[in-house]
Structure 1
Amino acid sequence: MTNTPSNDPALNNSAEQLTLMEQLKQVELFNGRAAMVGIVTGIVVEGLTGFGIAHQIGLGALVDGYAACRTQFLPFCF
């Protein structure tokens, strides 16, 4: 049995449930806004530098290796 707000005996009070749901809503709103800011920042930096988001976070070698393998610039694929 999972511990959802409706099953949790500590949250039987509806005021506590409303407070919990309001806090959850605010946290999710903040997370969504932070994700949007991160994506827009990554796209702007990509436009200015020419390096994609994968390169910005350090995964460029994996992407480059895959692209080279797909275009057959490497004699082997990993």
Structure 2
Amino acid sequence: MTNTPANEKWIEHRAEQLILLDQLKRAELFNGRAAMLGIVLGIVTEAITGSGIAHQIGLGALVDGYAACRTQFLPFCF
């Protein structure tokens, strides 16, 4: 069997696809590990400081507003 130009092109294209899939797999693995580390650090910081994760990242007012809305302390709910 001889390699025709079309066959060689297909092989090159398939090799590029496999390389990209491998890179994507490694990137997703890294992202997952970074997310797990972030959650663990947030929980540890919450245990040490008593400040929740939402307050740590600056969303405390949103959470507090939701709690006030649920307990009817605010005249409006968002």
CA distance in structure 2 between the aligned counterparts of 1:42 and 1:71, rounded to whole angstroms: 27
Q: Which has the larger radius of gyration?
A: 2
Q: Structure 2 stretches of 5 or more lacking a match?
A: 1-10
CA RMSD of aligned residues (A): 1.9
Aligned residues with identical type, % of pairs = 73
Kindly state the Cα deviation for residue 69 of structure 1 after the two structures are TM-superposed: 2.0
Aligned to 1:24: 24
Q: Which runs of 4+ in 1 moved over 3 A?
A: none
State TM-score, norm by structure 1: 0.76
Query: 1:7-66, CA deviations, whole angstroms, 9 ceiling, x for partnerless residues?
Result: xxxx96221111111101000000000000011111111111111111001010111111
Q: Structure 1 stretches of 5 or more lacking a match?
A: 1-10
- In structure 2, the residue corresponding to 1:13 is in which secondary structure? helix
Amino acid at match of 1:60: G
Higher fraction of helix: 2
